[in-house]
Chain A
Amino acid sequence: MPNLNINGRNMSVEAASDTPLLWVIREQLQMTGTKFGCGAGLCGACTVHLNGEAVRSCQTSLADAVGKKITTIEGLSAKGEHPLQKAWVAEQVPQCGYCQSGQIMQAAALLSKNTNPTKEEVVAHMDGNLCRCMTYSRIQKAIMRAASDMRTASATGSERRAT
């Protein structure tokens, strides 16, 4: 039985190795925050992190995920307080909300490497994530807000370290 490391826990699952990771996460592990939208890598609703990289779980087989660190929306932060999640609430981003786990996971991968992205970098990074409710402008604002919050936090953090 394959073992998955998901949100910091090891879990054994029972599924054929070619099963898309998406369905293993949703059905076997009953973590339904990760969504099915297209099954073809075209919408981003199923985005999770594999070793910190944003990937489409509908296009990732169970075999490819074994031995890697998987993070889903449920594991992005302990209490749902990742700067992006806070920014998403502050900007009142979600409408139906269905795409938003994927949007947040996609954005988190960007900010983990670059907390000062330009608007063009945000658009280029996010363009594969569809939002049928068309919340794009609020998504952009929330990413910028979270980026700025992260910069402030790390600045105060290093000041503290300096003193």
Chain B
Amino acid sequence: MNKHVKNLAPETTDLSRRSFLVGTAATGLVLGYAGSGIDGALAAPAPANFEPSVWYSIAPDGLVTVTCGKADMGQHVASTMAQIVAEELGANWKDMRVQLASNDPKFNDPVLGAQITGGSWSTMMNFDAMSRAGAAGRIALTEAAAASMGVPAGELVVRASTISHPKSKKSMSFAEVVKSGKATKTFTADDLKAIKLKSADQYTMIGVSVPQLDIPLKVNGTAKYGIDVMLPGMVYGALVTPPVRYGATVKSVDDGAAKKVPGFIKAVTLDDKTTTTTGWVVAVANTYANAKKAAAALKIDYDGGPNAKLSSESLFAEAKRLQGLSDSGEFFVKDGDPNAAFGTAAKVLEAEYTTNINIHAPMEPMNATAEFKGDILHIYSGNQFATRSGAIAAGAAGIDPKFVVMHQMWLGGGFGRRLDADMMVPAVQAAKAVGKPVKVIYTRENDMTMDFSRPLTYQKVKAGVDGDGKLVALSHDVVSAWPTQRWGIPDFLSPSVDKKGPLDAFTVNGSDFFYTVPNHYVRAIKNEMAHNATPSGQLRSVAPGWTFWAVESMVDEIAHATGKDPAQLRVELLDGKGKNDGGAQRLRNTLLAAMGLAGYGTKKLPKGEGMGVACVSSQERATASWTACVAHVAVAPSGEVTVKKLTVATDVGTQVNPDGIRAQVEGAALWGMSLALFEKATLKDGGIEQTNFDSYTPLRMSQLPEVAVNVIANGEKATGVGEPAVTVVAPAIGNAVFNAVGARVRGLPITAEAVKAAMKA
């Protein structure tokens, strides 16, 4: 697909080549990994003109500026990184500042080896590196202070940006040490590894709800998002996108009427060799209002291409057909032999679960600003995957990716949408065509109809229960477009257990749950038709958003079929045997915490009301945040579902900022509810039918339920919180609806009509 993206593996683990650089310069103290090894680092300790090429710097005034290589889309990750640094550095929180990194590879994630933000990975994967960076700074400053004061470094105490010597009552602020110019020390990778980090009982910053550093900018209008970028001489691009989501081509463009629009400059038909877009035209004008007028005046003739007749119904039909074939797909899980076990099972249950297309719709519509300056292409945009997006921009420009500088901005929502790079293509090609910087802004209609959506999914689950009511076999087929395969980066794919080739684990994660089921198959089946017609993306939580919908609904169905309490059945299945040891117990405990908090089973509910449970190990087995939900719903005779309360418990190991975590978990849970009840997009004649917030309708304030969040921090490694709670809510609501009125709904979103129909059945 995209030949410009090089394999991301080489840089992932090779920290040995890097040394930790500490040096003073006119601009202050800078700390971070030097990309070119220790020699290069020593030869050029720090540039006189500060270049943000390292994790943080301390200015002579004592302000500590952390450069965040992760995209900040509202999860306050920049602030979180600063908090981790500040803990080990011993800095006062009021001295901390943040800035956003460019796409310089020096800012690559220390674990992932690329600049990508997603998967709820950031805190988990950067915790150690930021802690060690902070500690190295403290050591360097302490040794310098010791030399200045003439006392042993071991007798110094660092707190709140001050280094003091209790015996002599001498002290120096960080600012004074930096000004002294004596802080010079380099750390090899081994030195860094050898630093003894604080233990949790020594924390004074981690675990404290310090105010998020980006919030003041976001209440007075000064935070700069991609859409706010203004460059001298800049003009504007408005998009005309075809009626078909993917595969259309432009046959002709008549700009006769557009030419009459004042300020109109040019209509640019994209020639997208990166295959990210098809059939797009940009109308360029001196203002955005004029660009939009010109766009509306263009007369464009399209060839709709191969997908122009497809609809959601055809994608579902194709999914069913594929699932029915015995040789479809690849195995993600293959334990025991479910088919044999079904033959001897006392009871076999079978069900189909579906989810419809969902649209990210962050509040800031997609946009990008491109400027060619000499040999360099500058891109200004809030983006979650600078490494790949820079390469796509280069592909659109026909230049080498090393000539692309990505200027990161605050993201007006990401949710996975800004992992994609489509917005680079019109901005780059328009800027090239008119020889001026161009800012391209999608209308909401462009944004919705050209979303890299959560794919439509079809899942078939078959479960076998033995004479004692024990779940002995489960087979689970997951049919969907493959969002991550679309990136064309082999490292993001996983080998299948049946060695049939790589599979997109981001379509099946979650189905490898922590329940003990001796015979368990999961097949990942690519719906090629959906893949081509509706290029899919990573929508907040990705696969666990649909796999747990199926698994956690089926577990409830099994409980009801065997006369067990659904929560009790989950506790039994989470027995911690074999490969599930550890994780299963944590999930069980989390479920019990949520049940306790919600008062599950302790009171008789009025008629038409019910509670339902679900528990998940999202996002991936290796990175799980253990999350459980009890949903309390009221169902009207019309089938309309009102969520009265969501109780969510989540075990995140270690919490850096408890208040920030609660905000993320609540937002994620409400996303889960919005996807469960209110959000549905449909394909018709190859195009997405929903175009704005009148037809695609995320949760509004009047639909807000009571949300109770309980965060469990038990001292284990910090895990992510941006996504897991999305995945637990839909099944909890579905199960609650069943408990309220006996209606089992197996398709998302759960509509009043579907509930009513199931009530009658």
Q: Which residues on A are within 8 Å of B, measured CB to CB?
A: 15-16, 19-20, 23, 26-28, 30-40, 42-43, 45, 72-74, 80, 85, 88-89, 92-101, 104, 123-124, 126-127, 129-140
Known: A23-B289, A134-B667. A36 touches B220 (CB 8 A): no
Contacting pair A42 B692 (CB below 8 A): yes
16 more contacts with CB within 8 A, not counting A80-B216, A136-B701, A139-B701, are A27-B287, A38-B693, A92-B659, A95-B76, A96-B412, A97-B412, A98-B413, A123-B702, A126-B701, A129-B701, A130-B700, A133-B74, A133-B413, A135-B663, A136-B700, A138-B663
Q: Is B707's beta carbon under 8 Å from chain A?
A: yes
The tally of residues in B whose CB lies under 8 Å from a CB in A reads 59
Which of A40, A97, A129, A131: most chain B Cβ within 10 A?
A97
Known: A30-B230, A40-B692. A23 touches B363 (CB 8 A): no
Contacts of B212 in A (CB 8 A): 92
Known: A23-B288, A38-B444, A134-B671. A100 touches B365 (CB 8 A): no
Known: A42-B694, A95-B75. A88 touches B224 (CB 8 A): no
Contacting pair B220 A33 (CB below 8 A): yes
Known: A36-B227, A137-B666. A98 touches B701 (CB 8 A): no
Contacts of B471 in A (CB 8 A): none
Which of B218, B225, B362, B414: most chain A Cβ within 10 A?
B218
Q: List 11 A-B contacts (CB under 8 A).
A: A16-B289, A32-B230, A33-B220, A74-B221, A85-B220, A123-B701, A127-B700, A127-B702, A130-B698, A133-B413, A138-B663
Contacting pair A39 B218 (CB below 8 A): no
Q: Is B704's beta carbon under 8 Å from chain A?
A: yes
Contacts of A94 in B (CB 8 A): 74, 214-215, 218-219
The 7 closest A-B pairs by CB, nearest first: A33-B221, A97-B218, A98-B412, A95-B74, A96-B74, A80-B220, A134-B670
Contacts of B704 in A (CB 8 A): 123, 136-137, 140
Cα distance, A40 to B641, chains bound together (Å): 28
B74-93 vs A, CB cutoff 8 Å, 1 = contact: the mask equals: 11100000000000000000
Contacting pair A97 B663 (CB below 8 A): no
- Number of A-B pairs whose CB atoms are under 8 Å? 165
Contacting pair A88 B692 (CB below 8 A): no
Cα distance, A15 to B293, chains bound together (Å): 13
Cα distance, A130 to B262, chains bound together (Å): 34
Which of B222, B288, B410 meets A96, CB within 8 Å? B410
Cα distance, A103 to B59, chains bound together (Å): 36
- Of chain A, the residue at the smallest CB distance from B706 is A137
Min CB gap A121→B, angstroms: 12
Min CB gap B411→A, angstroms: 6
Contacting pair A85 B219 (CB below 8 A): yes
Which of B219, B236, B361, B701: most chain A Cβ within 10 A?
B219
Min CB gap B401→A, angstroms: 28
Min CB gap A144→B, angstroms: 13
Contacts of A20 in B (CB 8 A): 289
Min CB gap B756→A, angstroms: 26
Min CB gap A101→B, angstroms: 5
Cα distance, A139 to B704, chains bound together (Å): 12
Which of A34, A42, A123 meets B221, CB within 8 Å? A34
The B interface is mostly helix, strand or loop, or mixed, namely loop
Known: A34-B221, A133-B413. A15 touches B228 (CB 8 A): no
Known: A89-B211, A95-B74, A98-B362. A43 touches B693 (CB 8 A): yes
Cα distance, A39 to B694, chains bound together (Å): 12
Contacting pair A27 B288 (CB below 8 A): yes
Contacts of B444 in A (CB 8 A): 37-40
Contacting pair A73 B221 (CB below 8 A): yes
Contacting pair B666 A134 (CB below 8 A): yes
Contacting pair A40 B666 (CB below 8 A): no
B407-419 vs A, CB cutoff 8 Å, 1 = contact: the mask equals: 0001111110000
Contacts of A19 in B (CB 8 A): 287, 289
Q: Is B108's beta carbon under 8 Å from chain A?
A: no
Contacting pair B221 A101 (CB below 8 A): yes
Cα distance, A95 to B674, chains bound together (Å): 17
Which of B223, B289, B361 meets A97, CB within 8 Å? B223
In chain B, positions 217-266 with a C-beta closer than 8 Å to chain A are 217-225, 227-228, 230, 236, 262
Contacting pair B289 A131 (CB below 8 A): no
Q: Is B433's beta carbon under 8 Å from chain A?
A: no
Contacting pair A97 B674 (CB below 8 A): no
Cα distance, A98 to B361, chains bound together (Å): 12
Min CB gap A19→B, angstroms: 5
In chain B, positions 177-199 with a C-beta closer than 8 Å to chain A are none
Min CB gap A6→B, angstroms: 13
Contacting pair B667 A135 (CB below 8 A): yes
Min CB gap A150→B, angstroms: 16
Contacting pair A38 B287 (CB below 8 A): no
Contacting pair B218 A15 (CB below 8 A): no
Cα distance, A133 to B704, chains bound together (Å): 13
Contacts of B362 in A (CB 8 A): 96, 98, 132
Contacting pair B707 A96 (CB below 8 A): no
Known: A15-B289, A132-B363. A40 touches B693 (CB 8 A): yes
Contacts of B351 in A (CB 8 A): none
Which of B414, B670, B693: most chain A Cβ within 10 A?
B693
B396-430 vs A, CB cutoff 8 Å, 1 = contact: the mask equals: 00000000000000111111000000000000000
Q: Is B73's beta carbon under 8 Å from chain A?
A: yes
Cα distance, A21 to B157, chains bound together (Å): 57
In chain B, positions 653-668 with a C-beta closer than 8 Å to chain A are 659-660, 663-664, 666-667
B692-724 vs A, CB cutoff 8 Å, 1 = contact: the mask equals: 111000111110100100000000000000000
Contacts of A73 in B (CB 8 A): 220-221
- Of chain B, the residue at the smallest CB distance from A14 is B287
Contacts of A31 in B (CB 8 A): 221
Q: Is B575's beta carbon under 8 Å from chain A?
A: no
Cα distance, A104 to B218, chains bound together (Å): 10
Q: Is B629's beta carbon under 8 Å from chain A?
A: no
Contacting pair A43 B363 (CB below 8 A): yes
- Of chain B, the residue at the smallest CB distance from A124 is B702
Cα distance, A85 to B217, chains bound together (Å): 10
Cα distance, A73 to B692, chains bound together (Å): 25
Which of B214, B219, B443, B674 meets A88, CB within 8 Å? B219
Contacting pair B288 A132 (CB below 8 A): no
Q: Is B284's beta carbon under 8 Å from chain A?
A: no
Cα distance, A155 to B510, chains bound together (Å): 56
Which of B221, B660, B666: most chain A Cβ within 10 A?
B221
Contacting pair B699 A96 (CB below 8 A): no
Which of A28, A32, A37, A74 meets B363, CB within 8 Å? A37
Cα distance, A36 to B445, chains bound together (Å): 13
Cα distance, A131 to B701, chains bound together (Å): 9
Contacts of A101 in B (CB 8 A): 221
Cα distance, A95 to B211, chains bound together (Å): 12
Contacts of A104 in B (CB 8 A): 219
Contacts of A133 in B (CB 8 A): 74, 363, 413, 667
